[in-house]
Chain A
Amino acid sequence: DAGITQSPRYKITETGRQVTLMCHQTWSHSYMFWYRQDLGHGLRLIYYSAAADITDKGEVPDGYVVSRSKTENFPLTLESATRSQTSVYFCASSENSASNQPQHFGDGTRLSIL
């Protein structure tokens, strides 16, 4: 039972570069989410997806792009990375749209932008 996996676990890049964080889940969950975790802010929602080809903005979407061509994958792209996007990124999934369903998280990607 692989669950939800994120890759890479660690990434260092330079400002202005494009970087894509991958997220893959094996549960066939409908909903997938991307959060960033920063000191003093907790977890903040970047984007979420209700199903393949359906995505929507969260609290802090600027500078990020997502896609969901397949149910199991939900990549997050920083088109032109900035230092303020240095963070730990978490992907999550949940079974359906019911707000009582817990979200299950990947192990996170620690991204540093120099």
Chain B
Amino acid sequence: AQKVTQAQTEISVVEKEDVTLDCVYETRDTTYYLFWYKQPPSGELVFLIRRNSFDEQNEISGRYSWNFQKSTSSFNFTITASQVVDSAVYFCALSEVPCGGSNYKLTFGKGTLLTVNP
């Protein structure tokens, strides 16, 4: 069974600090996909990034960067120079390649609440 662990329940930082959100996953499959979603205080869920298990290159998008390491089954998310608008709950999620294309399942971690204080 697949599992996603976000050990940090809450993180609080001061604006302009860098912060890393941890995500560790478990899966028996060799092919899988990892995702990060953001849930701001307004409540909606916003897709941030998708990564497949064969691509371990780190990715950077503005102040956001992601570090995927298969050796440690981790897919960590770093926000550089954090801003108050980054305050949100962040979810990591795992999707395995479905067998026969019918058992599509996305498993979410329990989320990390990030608070960025001015």
Contact = CB atoms under 8 A, between A and B. Distances in A.
Contact of B110 (A40, A58, A88): A40
Contact of B47 (A43, A102, A106): A102
A11 to B, nearest CB: 15
Contacts of A104: 47
B102 A50 contact: yes
A19 interface: no
A99 B111 contact: no
B91 A42 contact: yes
Contact of A31 (B32, B104, B110): B104
A56 interface: yes
Contacts of A92: 45
Contact of A97 (B33, B42, B96, B98): B98
B33 A107 contact: no
Contacts of B35: 102
B11 interface: no
Nearest to B37: A105
A88 B91 contact: no
Contacts of B44: 105-108
